[in-house]
Amino acid sequence: MYDNDQRPRRGGATVRAARWSATHPWRAIALWLAFVAACFAIGQAAGTRKATNLDQAVGQSGQAAHWLHDSKLDDPAKESVLISPRAGHLDTATATRATADVTQRLRALPGVVHVDEPQRAKTGDAILVNVTMRGDPDTAQDRVQPLLDATSATQRGYPELRVEEVGDASIAKGVNTELGKSFGKATNISLPVTLVILLVAFGAIIAAGVPVLLALSAVFAAWRSEHD
């Protein structure tokens, strides 16, 4: 485009940056990698803060939840261990030994405040052991693994029984684990397909690899922030 004196009009900063990136692809990629590395380092230095259920509470109920939390009166995280037979009726002697074993293991954990007395079902076919965890209930899923390990150890010692643990913390941990596995499978499938589509669309491996590289760097930064 020309102005009144027939001199070519210079493009804006965006146009000049795009022209320079197109004529210097390797330098552009190197600068982008340096920029991502700098952002990653700044993010690591700044740290992260996970949102909790308390952060999402709104209205009068949210205000009440904040009052309870500030007063340290909110309900602690609790887990339950259920002992039942795999088939037929529950063997009382074996179930009693398994109950004593899992109770002893749980009481020895530093993250456990209290283990209730076992409760036997009215039918006599199951025994329930309730456990109260120590610390903030909103972060209990990060500290529930030792309890799950103790339950698994009792299960291995009594294979004829079914010894299972359930609670808000263990459920949240299980859901997050499965979501992580599903996300990994989806990434393994979608990444090659996306790269092929971009290769067909752009016609060059360098041009096709830039969007994929940007996406991978963002995913990696998010993953490190989640696990640090």
**H or E segment to which residue 122 belongs:** none
Residue with tokens 């993953």: 223
* Per-residue pLDDT, 166: 94
Residue 127: both structure tokens together = 């025994």
CA angle 140, 144, 145 (to 5 degrees): 145
pLDDT for the residue numbered 110? 94
Q: Phi-psi region for residue 120, left (φ > 0), alpha (ψ -120 to 50) or beta?
A: beta
Integer Cα distance of 138 and 71 in angstroms: 16
What is 78-167's CATH topology? Answer: Alpha-Beta Plaits (3.30.70)
Placement of tokens 């887990």 in the chain: 79
pLDDT 10s digits, 85-97? 998 889 999 999 9
Give just the sign of the alpha carbon dihedral 56, 60, 65, 66: positive
Residue 13: the pLDDT is 80
Alpha carbon of 50 to those of 137, 170, 178, 202: distances in Å? 14, 18, 19, 39
72: left (phi over 0), alpha (psi -120 to 50) or beta: left
Q: How far apart are CA 110 and CA 134, in angstroms?
A: 8
Residues lower than pLDDT 50 in the chain: 1-2, 7-8
CATH 3.30.70.360 placement within the chain:
78-167
pLDDT at residue number 10 = 54
Distance CA 60, CA 102 (A): 41
pTM of the model: 0.60
Residue appearing with tokens 């709104």: 58
Residue 109, classified by CB atoms within 10 Å of its CB into exposed (0-12), middle (13-18) or buried (19+), is: middle
Which pLDDT score is estimated for 1? 47
Give the DSSP H or E segment for 83.
Answer: strand 78-85
